[in-house]
Structure 1
Amino acid sequence: MGENCDVDCSLSISTKEMVAMELGQIVETSCHDDDGRVKRTGTVLTASAHIITAVIGSGVLSLAWAIGQLGWVAGPFVMVLFSFVIYYTSTLLSDCYRSGDPVSGKRNYTYMDAVRSNLGGAKVKMCGIVQYVNLFGVAVGYTIAASISMIAIEKSNCFHSKGHDNPCHVSGNAYMIGFGVAEVLLSQIPDFDQISWLSIVAAIMSFTYSSIGLLLGILQVAGNGEIKGSLTGIAVGKITHTQKIFRSLQAFGDIAFAYSYSIILIEIQDTVRSPPSEAKTMKKATMVSVAVTTVFYMACGCMGYAAFGDKSPGNLLTGFGFYNPYWLLDIANIAIVIHLVGAYQVFCQPLFAFIEKWVSQQWPKSGFAMKEIEIPISFRRRNSTNINLFRLIWRTAFVILTTIISMLLPFFNDVVGLLGALSFWPLTVYFPVEMYIASMKIPKWTTRWVGLQILSLSCFVISVSAATGSIAGVLADLKVYRPFKTNY
């Protein structure tokens, strides 16, 4: 007899689990997967879309500068190299979605779950520290990037009305505070699943400003009548030997930041249906998305470098290599701000959830931590929202802290490079490699084990080098920066 799917799907998860307990197992039905959750429906297409949406973001804006430091030979080569490394380590990570059997093994719903299942012990804590510190850093980076785009809008209009020779100095403090206020309000949205609309808007905006940057680069090259740049990048003489080394290393960090998405790969894989196995689908999606992203990045980065050569700005749309059409620059920077407003929440919600879950476990009977207060939001309709005092105070304090740090360190390019360097090796290479070795039970000192360890060690050296270059850039900026007072 066939199941009545409509009736079955209307059952709650808890009811399904009760049935499973009576049978001694979780029963897979036509409407529920083997873990009792509603059937996942994701495909290669949807998984690819999620990855591309996550990857293509503000990191694309620094790629022209990164290629400018490395030149026409090393720049594109490093970008392609990173794409291959990230593709390969992502395929390793996708094999860690299920523990044991790749078809029927226990599912790992998050990156941390995968680390816990495959490695356990101190490595789980290490992963958590790296992951959540990185999320905090991303919040700071996005606050800086959003304020710089708002500054660029004001300066663009100033240049249009007063001429390009006018300094048009603007303070970024007010814009950072404004961005922080918006994030305080949005951060009160309780759960990650309630901000899907924000993610969709942010994704549309990221493609909008990236495409405008590419278009302006093409127009600039056409206007110049030549392709600028050199085989080895900006030459020693225009900058010192030390600056050349540190800037080249920082460029590695910028490119790594632009490609990073491993931290959410398992979460995306958890949306994919089976059969075929989730790993097979995810590997295809990874190949498609990394290929599309690399082509797009190469076009944006190379076209920006071709347009400006050694003068490629650290942020393609706010560094004022372009001045006109000013209204198109304004549209692009508005799109950046809208995207970053949403992206801030997407990246911070997992951190919010982690802290609030820990507090609820520590003080389960605390009214301050647990009580939800219903607040009406409409007089005409019976609509309301819930406010939790701990959530209100802690999330507000978090946003205030990221805003203050952003005002102290408003260096977009250096911060982007540092974030990319710090997250690339541990989250994109080390943990995927170690989990794969553990899950596949690869013996030590075999050819494959040695090859994976060499890959991990090589990427560790790259991460440390890139972090060194970015830190040097921050220190150089601090020499001429006055906190809360420097104008752009």
Structure 2
Amino acid sequence: MSKEYQKNPLYIEQTTEAPQSGQSPSKKFVDDDGREKRTGTLLTASAHIITAVIGSGVLSLAWAIAQLGWVAGPAVLMAFSFITYFTSTLLADTYRSPGPVHGNRNYTYMDVVRSHLGGVKVQLCGLAQYGNLVGVTIGYTITASISMVAVERSNCFHKNGHNYKCAVSNYPFMAIFAVIQIIFSQIPNFHKLSWLSIVAAIMSFAYSSIGLALSIAKVVGGGHEKTSLTGTEVGVDVSGSEKVWRSFQAIGDIAFAYAYSTVLIEIQDTLKSQPPENKVMKRASLVGVTTTTAFYVLCGCVGYAAFGNQAPGNFLTGFGFYEPFWLIDFANVCIAIHLIGAYQVFAQPIFGFVEKMCNQKWPESKFITKEYALCGNFNINLFRLVWRTLYVIVTALVAMIFPFFNDFLGLIGAASFYPLTVYFPIEMHIAQTKIPKYSFTWMWLKILSWACLVVSLVAAAGSIQGLAQHVKTYKPFKTEN
């Protein structure tokens, strides 16, 4: 074991525990790198991926398909499912370096880039990754509050009629969501998060299935609307410029709906060392991407068939359906529960990054390093308690001040999709496998990378246009109807 790992506080803390059943501490409690023994499996990794990928955005895919139509919509969905799976397999092989099986571990995305590429690209990776993660946690605070508000409005509409003005404020629900996240943020790391991801994944299946079933019921009942091969029609549904901008936004929505590369390495770092982590991660990616693609195609296409060119942005919170109101309520509760877990999946890398930096800078500080046993195997750390609580409070306040932050999130997603999901995995694969420059493989990988860059630029343009439209009508702390 290297001297670097022997100096690691985590190594000292784990190896000083008393051995049990005559086994040595290094074999019983720690992995080959001196860290706490990893217990992740194909099931837990798949759950993390599904929790990170599906999101409540699945319910907006009917709108995305409506902008692109029956031909381009499903084609774009399938294209990005392939790209995401392919680049995730490349990224999985970079977890260990120099070799994908017997090399040294890389704990974070930045560590992987540092090992394979180095230089200024490490800082660019960190900026893209953590900027995206912060944006996602703020966006999820807003989205969860929208789902909670939808429950209140659903009950109001059921009681007073669909034309009644049911105005409900998002802000109390953002505060409730923040309190819940303060509690769950004390889960120390990804290794202890598996049960929450499994619950969140089940919730995502539940509300996606409800949305799909309601759409099918509407189509079967003859309530479906007009659809077309090219989606919304210029001069009928939208103007020419609106068609272009909405198509750009739809492509961006679909592309970023698959993006989980920001947390892939952190998920892979939870896996047992046998079988090899890269093989398990590739299978988990196949399970996750295949499952989400099936739901995306079903929810997007059946939702479009039900609502046609006037599909709402989210047909559960946007009231594409009003009845049965109790089922709508249940689906929105499932969305909120799912986002509780999804928030943690995206927040844990941020928590880990800050805590690692502070541990390295102040290794003698008991406030930062000391763990206090509470009950059972649960420990509390004062620095973790204070800093994570402050982070949740700040993200909630930003969400309250800028409730249209989802438009910013689209822009952040556009800026991070290309480098994190496409560029870095391809460049690290080329470096790791030493693919000759200008060879056939090198050329087609570069072409794929450049094509995805164009998609990111197009999606960024659509997000900026949407953001500009919302800013024009923005009124702080206004209750939406």
Asked whether the equivalents of residues 62 and 413 of structure 1 are also in contact (C-alpha less than 8 Å), the reply is no
Instruction: Report the counterpart of residue 386 of structure 1 in structure 2.
Output: 380
* Change in 2 beyond 3 A, CA 1:416/1:252: farther
Matched residue, 2:352: 353
Confirm or deny: 8 A CA contact 2:215 2:303 kept in the other structure. yes
**Mean Cα deviation higher: 117-126 or 105-114:** 105-114
Q: Cα distance, 1:66 vs. partner?
A: 0.9
Matched residue, 2:307: 308
SS at match of 2:314: coil
1:461 aligns with 2:454: yes
Match in the other structure for 2:10: none
Alignment correspondent of 2:228: 230
Aligned residues: 462
Alignment partner, residue 439 of structure 1: 432
1:262·1:428 contact (CA, 8 Å) conserved in 2?
A: yes
Which residue in the other structure is 1:177 paired with?
175
Name the SS for the 2:221 alignment partner: helix
Map Cα deviations across residues 364-389 of structure 1 (whole Å, 9 max, x no partner).
34455445567x68xxxx9985351x
**Aligned twin of 1:11:** 24
Contact 1:252–1:417, Cα closer than 8 Å, also in 2: no
CA distance in 2, matches of 1:192, 1:87: 22
Instruction: State how far apart, in whole Å, the 2-side matches of 1:302 and 1:113 are.
Output: 40
Cα deviations by residue, 1:37-83 (Å, 9 ceiling, x for unpaired): 78867665664454334322222122111111111111111101101
In structure 2, what is the equivalent of residue 60 of structure 1?
58
Report the CA distance shift for 1:282/1:396 in structure 2 as closer, same or farther (over 3 A): closer
Q: Once the 2 structures are TM-superposed, how far is the Cα of residue 478 of structure 1 from its aligned partner?
A: 1.8
Find 1:396's aligned residue among 389, 410, 422: 389
| SS of equivalent to 1:232 | coil
| Residues 35-54 of structure 1 aligned to structure 2 (within 5 Å) | 47-54=45-52
Which of 414, 424, 436 does residue 421 from structure 1 map onto? 414
Q: Is the 8 A contact 1:188 1:391 kept in 2?
A: yes
Contact 1:9–1:38 (CA under 8 A) maintained in structure 2: no
RMSD: 2.9
Change in Cα spacing, 1:384 to 1:221, as seen in structure 2 (3 Å) is: closer
> 1:125 corresponds to which residue?
123
Shift of 1:316: 2.4
Q: For residue 27 of structure 1, what is the aligned residue in structure 2?
A: none
Where do residues 38-437 of structure 1 align in structure 2 (5 Å cutoff)?
47-226=45-224, 228-237=226-235, 238-271=237-270, 277-366=276-365, 368-370=367-369, 386-388=380-382, 390-411=383-404, 414-415=407-408, 417-437=410-430
Q: Is 1:253–1:418's contact at 8 Å kept on the other side of the alignment?
A: no
Q: Distance in 1 between matches of 2:445 and 2:22?
A: 44
Partners of 2:462 and 2:370 lie apart in 1 by: 47
Residue-by-residue CA offset, 1:277-312 (whole Å, 9 max, x unaligned): 544444344334322321221001111111111221
Separation of aligned partners in 1, 2:315 and 2:406? 11
In structure 1, the partner of 2:442 is 449
From the superposition, tell whether residues 472 and 185 of structure 1 become closer, same or farther in structure 2 (CA, over 3 Å). same
**Structure 1 range deviating more: 357-366 or 436-445:** 357-366
Deviation, structure 1 residue 148: 0.4
SS at match of 1:224: coil
CA–CA distance in structure 2, aligned partners of residues 113 and 255 of structure 1: 28
User: Which whole-Å CA distance do the structure 1 matches of 2:178 and 2:207 have between them?
Assistant: 22
CA distance in 1, matches of 2:286, 2:177: 36
Using a 3 Å threshold, how does the CA distance of structure 1 residues 392 and 51 change in structure 2: closer, same or farther? Answer: closer
Whichever residue aligns with residue 121 of structure 1, its letter is: G
Say whether the 8 Å CA contact 1:229–1:309 is kept in structure 2. Answer: yes
TM-score, normalised relative to structure 2: 0.87
Cα 1:248/1:223, change in 2 over 3 Å: same
Q: 1:370 to 1:231 in 2, by over 3 A?
A: same
Q: What is the CA–CA distance in structure 2 between the aligned matches of 1:391 and 1:289, rounded to whole Å? A: 31
Contact kept, 8 Å, 2:39 with 2:191, in 1: the verdict is no
Q: Is the 8 A contact 2:69 2:227 kept in 1?
A: yes
Distance 2:368 2:32 in 1: 34
State the SS of the aligned residue for 1:79. helix
Moved more, 462-471 or 266-275: 266-275
Q: Deviations over 1:205-263 (max 9, x none)?
A: 11111111111111111223546421111122232222221111111221122211222
Between 1:461-470 and 1:43-52, the stretch displaced more is 43-52
CA distance in 1, matches of 2:328, 2:174: 20
* Structure 2 CA distance for partners of 1:286 and 1:331, relative to 1, 3 Å: same
Following the alignment from structure 1 to structure 2, what is the Cα–Cα distance between the partners of residues 247 and 306? 19
1:470 corresponds to: 463
SS in 1 for 2:230: coil
Q: Measured at CA, do residues 117 and 180 of structure 1 come closer, stay the same or move farther in structure 2, by a change above 3 Å?
A: same
Select between 417-426 and 302-311 the one with higher mean Cα deviation: 417-426
Q: Secondary structure at the match of 1:123?
A: helix
Please, which moves more after superposition, 338-347 or 391-400?
A: 391-400
- Distance in 2, Cα, partners of 1:96 & 1:188: 29
Task: Tell me the amino acid that sits aligned with residue 380 of structure 2.
Answer: N
